Structures are given as C-alpha cells and as structure tokens.
C-alpha cells in the first residue's frame, strides 16, 4: 500500500525502455568472430536473427543504426517463427525399422549386437497393419495435399524385403517412401522396383576406396561392403532420388576430400557427411577429435565448391546445406538434428520391429526410451509419455554452456541420445561442440563471401519468403 511518504516510483515496473543493445529491455545482439577478413556476425541468440557487419562498423551497428531500428520492428516476428519451429510442429514422418537384424556389423551402429544378430523381424501382415495405423494417425497431423514420409531404416531393412515392398506397393499413394540400406542386398530387381516407384534410396559408404570404407563397415565375418555399394552407385547413376551417407570417424576423416571427389565422379546427386553419433560405447572407439573433424569436414566442403565451379555440377552435402538454410531461412530446414528440441518425438518418431515406439532411431537400442507400442497404444498418448517428454523437453536453454551460446539455434546441441548415454543426462551436451561451432562459422563466412547458393539445393527458397533483408537497409 502506498502512503504520502512512499518514494515516487515505488511498486512500479523497472523503467527500461530498451533503448540500448544488451542492457535492460534492449535487444540482445552478440558479436561473434567468424574468421572472415572483413566481417563479424551479430546474432540475437533467442530469435536466431543475425547480420554480418563490417569489422570497422561494429560499434556503429550497436548504436542507433538502421539495422537496429529495422530489427526492432521485426524481432517479435522472428521470435514467433522460432517458437513455432521449436514447439509448434506435429509429426509428419516415421523411421520404420522392419527388422532388428543386419548382415553387417558396423563399428558405430546404434543397434546393440544381440538385436542385430537375432532380433525380431516384422511379417508382411504386421508391416501392412503398422502402415495402416500410421496412415490413420497422420490424417490427424498432416495437412491435406501433403504426404507423410516413411523411411525404412536399419538395421538392414532389405532383410525384410518382401514385407517392405508389399508395404510400398499397397500404400504408394499414402506415403512418400525412402529406404536407407547398406546396399549388400540391393540387386537389379530391387533397384528396378524402388526407382520405378520414385522411392528415395540412401546408401552408406565411408570412403573412396575399400581400404578406408571397409574399416568401419564389414560383415560379421570381416568382409567389407565397399564393392556392393559401388555396384549400386553405378546402377543408380542418373536417379535423382538417391544419396550416400558417409559417417565421419577417426578412421576416414583424413580422406573426406578424396571422398567427395569420388562421390562427384560417381555423379552422386547428394551426400551427407554426418559426424559420428557416440550413443553406444562401441562407437566411441572411432570418435574423432572435434577440431580435427571440423578441419577435414570444411576442407571437403571447400572441395565441393571447387568441383561445382569447375564442372557446373553440384554435389550437395545435405547435412551442411541444412545448417546453412537453418541460418538463412530457419523454417526451410529439412533435417531436424540442429534445432532444439530436436525433431525426435515431435516431428517424427521411430517404429521398432515389434511395434515399440521411440522418439528417434537413435534410441532404439535403449529400452527405457520406449514410449509405447504401435499395435497396442494410441500414438498421441505415446507422444506424451515420459520417455518421449524427456527428449522433446530437452532445450538448449537448460544445457551448459549452450544456454549462453550465440549460435544455439543454428546448432541445437545434438544429440539427446548421445548426451544421455555418453555424458550422463539430457542437460548435458553431446559428443561434439567445437565441430558444430566451426560448421556455423564456416556457413557465415560463405554467406559473407556470397557463396552460399553453391551449397544449397536448387529451389530451396521456392516456398520461403524473406523476413528481413539487411542489404535493403
């Protein structure tokens, strides 16, 4: 209660009008060094707004500049867009594991060995039943006119070929299908079946020659998969719906430049150079040091640029393109590892061969992250289960040092499975940080040099609008 002697202003809200950057109610804009000759970046870590500013104009930019005035008008829109992306999406895809078994024994597989040797496998009837249930569920989440996506995923899905192909045949009008395979069972008739139906095909290959690629990808008896993959790549030449995943480990990182040369020579339309996930202890044996992996990874990206300039043909590095597009137009992202919470359990989920549901394939070997069963439980209930909530509730703001990292919405602090298993909890970082830092710096340097479109898929901006154009100021 106020009386005559109450000092003026008592009980009123603090009066900051937000006139200054980084104090009071003013916008937060952190300058970050990107290793560029003339520019630094200014980033609002909360809204993921950024601008590149000349080094000698940084002080002015933080004062009452046109950039700042324009950003003030737009900041609420940026914040809303980021909220939507982080908390407003509904599932539209499933990683579907029709079998737990695999004919390979790759070093870094996230499925435990006992499951891969003798785990369950769906019958055709079970797989068709599962797809029918998913079709019904997606009617409630995916807007009319769009198709949800089913990616048959590993272990090795083509061990359940009959069931998988029956599913693709029966539900071809209901889903967009993809198959991620080690290529050992991808014979001519399988290629014909899949390509004639426009099914996406992902192959896995960890190097440009057998002596490198086979270090991490071998059969149980120790024979490498290299020749199988090359054969499949030859057969798929000209098919636009295929890509090759190369997992970056201590075993192959020194050869990434030669690897992209090789992919380009083989006319691979898109690849992913995915940094290793260290979820299970076995994979940590081939964990590269962050800074080394970043050095070789960015050298490989440099090479894709040279190849493009020399030949006019792009080799898209899709995981990096996603980082780049996540900076330029956050909602145009296609992959969801580099946003927090990640896509696991909210944009997609994973189905195990017995119907158990997990937030992402990365959790399939971890029984405590099973949220229910597709054949017994309602999917909306499973999405709210405690194991799913642990993943969907993992936010960069709750993780140290991500909570004060300016690029937290370009990195996302992946991966919850890795953080939980390797570092002891959801509020921990995963296995890498410097790698992600360098990836974002590299992306911002490309933008500063006007090279970014050479790294993006053609037509990436077809459905996006420019929310803010600093060049127009």
Q: Can you give the binding site for ligand SF4, defined by CB under 6 A? A: 336-337, 342-344, 360, 362, 396, 401-402, 405, 407-408, 411, 413-417, 429, 433, 436-437
Q: Which is nearer to ligand SF4, 61 or 399 (CB)?
A: 399
CB of 223 to ligand SF4, least distance (A): 28
CB of 416 to ligand SF4, least distance (A): 5
Q: Which of 327, 473, 472 is nearest to 412 (CA)?
A: 327
CB of 335 to ligand SF4, least distance (A): 8
For residue 305, cis peptide bond before it (omega within 30 degrees of 0): no
Q: Which is nearer to ligand SF4, 24 or 401 (CB)?
A: 401
Q: Residue 233: in which H helix or E strand, if any?
A: helix 226-236
Residue with tokens 């790698």: 435
CB of 329 to ligand SF4, least distance (A): 20
DSSP string across 292-303: HHHHHHHHHHHH
Helix 434-448 and helix 318-328: axis angle, to 10°?
A: 70
Q: Which is nearer to ligand SF4, 195 or 274 (CB)?
A: 274
Q: Which is nearer to ligand SF4, 230 or 272 (CB)?
A: 272
CB of 443 to ligand SF4, least distance (A): 12
Q: Which is nearer to ligand SF4, 101 or 408 (CB)?
A: 408
313: DSSP letter: -
Q: Which is nearer to ligand SF4, 272 or 342 (CB)?
A: 342
Q: CA-based Rg of the chain, rounded to a whole angstrom? A: 24
How far is it, in rounded angstroms, from Cα 207 to Cα 322?
22
CB of 12 to ligand SF4, least distance (A): 37
How far is it, in rounded angstroms, from Cα 262 to Cα 242?
16
Q: Residue 151: in which H helix or E strand, if any?
A: strand 149-152
Runs of H (alpha helix) within 350-451: 379-383, 386-392, 408-411, 416-423, 434-448
CB of 89 to ligand SF4, least distance (A): 13
How far is it, in rounded angstroms, from Cα 414 to Cα 396?
9
Q: What tokens were used for 194?
A: 């899949």
Q: Which is nearer to ligand SF4, 178 or 343 (CB)?
A: 343
Q: Residue 275: in which H helix or E strand, if any?
A: strand 270-275
How far is it, in rounded angstroms, from Cα 379 to Cα 129?
14
Q: Which of 133, 135, 196, 123 is nearest to 161 (CA)?
A: 123
How far is it, in rounded angstroms, from Cα 445 to Cα 323?
13
Q: Which of 379, 364, 388, 378 is nearest to 98 (CA)?
A: 364
CB of 358 to ligand SF4, least distance (A): 9
Please report, for residues 210, 279, 407, 412, the alpha-carbon distance to residue 429 in angstroms, rounded to integers and kept in the order given: 34, 12, 14, 10
Q: Which is nearer to ligand SF4, 362 or 452 (CB)?
A: 362
CB of 433 to ligand SF4, least distance (A): 3
Q: Which is nearer to ligand SF4, 164 or 405 (CB)?
A: 405
CB of 140 to ligand SF4, least distance (A): 22
Q: Which is nearer to ligand SF4, 266 or 433 (CB)?
A: 433
How far is it, in rounded angstroms, from Cα 360 to Cα 388?
9
Q: Buried (b) or exposed (e) across 236-249, using 16+ Cβ within 10 A? A: beeeebbbbbbbbb
Q: Which is nearer to ligand SF4, 243 or 413 (CB)?
A: 413
CB of 403 to ligand SF4, least distance (A): 8
* Contact status, residue 203 vs residue 190, Cβ threshold 8 Å: no
């Amino acid at each position: 209660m106020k009386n005559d002697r109450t000092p003026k202003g008592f009980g009123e809200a603090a009066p900051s009008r937000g006139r200054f950057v980084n104090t009071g109610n003013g916008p937060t804009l952190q300058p970050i060094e990107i290793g560029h000759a003339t520019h630094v970046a200014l980033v609002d870590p909360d809204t993921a707004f950024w601008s590149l500013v000349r080094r000698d104009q940084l002080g002015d930019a933080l004062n009452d500049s046109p950039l700042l005035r324009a950003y003030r008008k737009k900041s609420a829109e940026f914040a809303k867009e980021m909220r939507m992306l982080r908390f407003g999406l509904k599932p539209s895809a499933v990683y579907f594991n029709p079998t737990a078994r695999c004919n390979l024994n790759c070093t870094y597989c996230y499925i435990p060995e006992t499951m891969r040797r003798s785990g369950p496998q769906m019958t055709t009837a079970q797989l068709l039943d599962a797809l029918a249930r998913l079709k019904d569920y997606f009617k409630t989440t995916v807007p009319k006119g769009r198709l949800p996506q089913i990616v048959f995923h590993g272990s090795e899905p083509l061990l359940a070929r009959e069931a998988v192909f029956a599913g693709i045949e029966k539900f071809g009008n209901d889903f967009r299908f993809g198959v991620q395979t080690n290529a050992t069972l991808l014979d001519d008739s399988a290629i014909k079946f899949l390509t004639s139906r426009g099914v996406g095909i992902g192959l896995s290959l960890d190097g440009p020659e057998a002596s490198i690629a086979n270090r991490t990808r071998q059969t149980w008896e120790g024979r490498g998969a290299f020749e199988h993959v090359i054969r499949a790549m030859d057969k798929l030449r000209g098919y636009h719906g295929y890509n090759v995943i190369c997992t970056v480990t201590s075993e192959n990182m020194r050869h990434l430049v030669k690897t992209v040369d090789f992919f380009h020579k083989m006319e691979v339309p898109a690849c992913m150079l995915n940094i290793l996930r260290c979820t299970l202890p076995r994979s940590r044996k081939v964990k590269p040091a962050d800074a080394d992996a970043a050095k070789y990874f960015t050298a490989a990206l440099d090479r894709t640029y040279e190849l493009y300039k020399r030949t006019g043909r792009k080799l898209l590095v899709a995981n990096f393109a996603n980082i780049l597009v996540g900076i330029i137009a956050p909602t145009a992202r296609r992959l969801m590892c580099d946003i927090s919470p990640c896509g696991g359990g909210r944009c997609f989920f994973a189905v195990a061969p017995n119907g158990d549901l997990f937030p992402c394939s990365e959790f399939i070997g971890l029984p405590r992250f099973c949220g229910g069963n597709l054949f017994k439980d309602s999917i909306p209930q499973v999405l709210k289960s405690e194991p799913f909530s642990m993943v969907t509730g993992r936010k960069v703001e709750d993780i140290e040092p991500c909570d004060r990292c300016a690029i937290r919405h370009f990195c996302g602090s992946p991966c919850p499975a890795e953080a939980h298993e390797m570092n002891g909890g959801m509020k921990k970082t995963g296995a890498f940080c410097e790698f992600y830092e360098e990836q974002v710096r590299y992306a911002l340097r490309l933008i500063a040099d006007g090279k970014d479109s050479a790294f993006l898929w053609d037509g990436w901006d077809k459905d996006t609008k420019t929310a803010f154009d600093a060049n127009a100021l």
